[in-house]
Structure 1
Amino acid sequence: MELIEERTLLGIDVGGTKTAVVLGDEALNILARAEFPTEPELGFQSFIKRLSSEIIGLTGDLIPSRVGISVGGPMDCKTGTLFNPPHLRWGTVNIVQPLVERFGFSITIEHDGRAGALAEGILGAGRGFLNIVFLTLGTGLGAGIIINGNIYSGSTGLAGEVGHMRVAVDGPSLYGKNGSWESFCGGTGISLYAHYRFPERFKRGTTTQDISHLALKKDPNAITVLEESGAYFGKGLAVLLDILDPDRIILGNLAWRLPKIWLEAALKMAAEEALIGDEARNRVVITELKDRIGDYAALIVASGMGRRR
């Protein structure tokens, strides 16, 4: 294998639903892209085999100069170890080692929340602000926190696992905890909450997309699920606003994909609960990068821009 032009980057964005492999340059221009279903239920080894095939298909006989992986935690970014992320359910695995052994890449790995915060801070809704929080709002719910222009990872790299905080005494169970924020508000969580709230109406396996479609058709149970899920989301937003006082909280893809009733309920609750009151409505905004955020986030991890902030 020969080296691609020195400044060419490879980004890998691993989500609970899909994984994207992106070739780009240091100006963050996307040169080529491939996507495949993550299908975590098939197991980690199956995922690595399919990922390797997509990398070969995208790069051929060439080796990018740097590789970045954006993936949800909990994780150890120094070693590449994932500690059973609830949206992947692989147990404890090292996602970097098999790729290094297979390709010899130099790989940087980052929590998808922090990578998303960098992407929005550099290219999207966080431009011009020093203090931002990005909420992934995909299959799961994690956060990336930038304070005074610097990514905040915490003392052991676990900062940003906001989906694990409890927002209710009881509720759907996810990652070993009933009533966690993610169990009410993530892509998986909303479907879990629908079954928890109306078990006879919404069977296990009813998706958040199904609930959204029903709500748009004025289904009262689906509307109730989204309104109540949104209210729980707003409670969590108020906590983040009170503790971190960010310039912006930037919401990931669910915020613009769901019917507006969900976000309206969230902003109403955030304004009621947060110390800043109605100002919460101005500080909580939707991602500007939308479907492209994962691609840019992974390239930014590969570029090393996060380490320079």
Structure 2
Amino acid sequence: MSKKFYIGIDIGGSNCAVIASTESMKILDRIQFSTETIRGPEFAINNLLKHASTIVGKISGYTLAAIGISCGGPLNTKKGFILSPPNLPGWDNIHITKIVQDELNAPAFLQNDANACALAEWHYGAGKGTNNMVFLTFGTGMGAGLILNGKLYTGTNDSAGEIGHVRLAKNGPIGYNKNGSFEGFCSGAGIKRLAENIISEKMDNGKKVSFIKNRDELQKLTAKELAEAANAGDGTALKIFQISAKYLGMGISILIDIINPERIVVGSIFYRYPDLFKSICNDIIKKEALESAANACEIVPSALGESIGDYASLSVALNGKQLQEL
């Protein structure tokens, strides 16, 4: 009897990846390519199928057991549909599980990317050993994956964990189509908008910013460049991250009060630059969250780091049947 292997498909607005692994998460092969959203879903899906078929064809001595697909929402995970995610224009009502199953002749399962990342950290990363944990994406956007009482919790219609939509301030950068939202303050796009507002005001008042020469450079500024300036000690960049850290603490405090988790795992930007957030974030949690619940909860960076997308999609493949029963 041949051994089993699994395929993970990670669909993102910028890049897609196809990963093969054994049941013990030994990576057998991996291919990454640009999504090129401007060319529409058919282009990316054809590439996914081509690369997945290539990988499957190269692996001998194993039988393909299942395929896991991780993608930003909204989704219908039970029926396997991608429903117009904002970062994937034109991906409207795509029956992705059927398309993949028909091509690869194995069961395919779909899950929201934040939920898939929560599963990955819970099984293989910083959430191991917990019964109640939260994963926060803190990347291009802000979303949460919830593990409650030892199970992934997705809500009534796959909408649980959309913490980025919560308004934390009357005014602030727009995120998730809402001024002052958690995502507006705590996401790559939100931090960029916050920086544009603060630096533009400085420029209007004739003040200089060391890492930005003009408004053209400001438009091209990335959260990574801003973090590098903050780590180099630039006061303006540090102020921007201090604001983001404050609202990260406020958002986490809400989660602590409502969910009472053992651990909150934060990915992407927090994982890369924890020292820009930890002190202020922890101070806010001490002030805002219930003391007993806050004392019972650890705030930690992702343990899977830049590989979390691979582990996330593979976790969906390995746990697909159980997820369908939620």
State TM-score, norm by structure 1. Answer: 0.88
**1:214: which partner in 2?**
229
Give the conservation status (yes or no) of the 8 Å contact 1:130–1:149: yes
C-alpha distance after superposition, 1:156-178 (max 9, x if no partner)? 11111111111121222233222
C-alpha distance after superposition, 1:184-209 (max 9, x if no partner)? 11122221222233335673332111
**1:151: which partner in 2?**
152
User: Gapped runs of 5+ residues in structure 1?
Assistant: none
**2:209: which partner in 1?**
none
Deviation at 1:102, TM superposition (A): 4.1
**2:180: which partner in 1?**
179
The answer on 1:12 being equivalent to 2:9 is yes
Give the conservation status (yes or no) of the 8 Å contact 1:144–1:160: yes
Match of 1:270 among 251, 271, 285: 285
The answer on 1:58 being equivalent to 2:48 is no
Distance 1:15 1:138 in 2: 12
SS where residue 48 of structure 1 aligns? Answer: helix
Deviation at 1:277, TM superposition (A): 7.3
Distance 1:258 1:77 in 2: 32
Give the conservation status (yes or no) of the 8 Å contact 2:164–2:175: no
Q: 1:224 to 1:291 in 2, by over 3 A?
A: same
Moved over 6 A (4+): none
User: Over aligned residues, Cα RMSD in angstroms?
Assistant: 2.6
Aligned AA for 2:303?
E
Deviation at 1:101, TM superposition (A): 4.6
The answer on 1:71 being equivalent to 2:71 is yes
Deviation at 1:252, TM superposition (A): 1.0
Distance 1:240 1:120 in 2: 18
C-alpha distance after superposition, 1:78-119 (max 9, x if no partner)? 123333333434453423344345444421011122222222
**1:252: which partner in 2?**
267
Aligned residues: 306
The answer on 1:230 being equivalent to 2:239 is no
Give the conservation status (yes or no) of the 8 Å contact 1:17–1:139: no
**2:167: which partner in 1?**
166
Match of 1:33 among 4, 14, 30: 30
Distance 1:47 1:176 in 2: 26
State TM-score, norm by structure 2. Answer: 0.84
Identity of aligned residues (%): 35
C-alpha distance after superposition, 1:12-71 (max 9, x if no partner)? 122344322110112222111122233434432332233233223322377733100112
SS where residue 82 of structure 2 aligns? Answer: strand
Aligned AA for 2:153?
Y
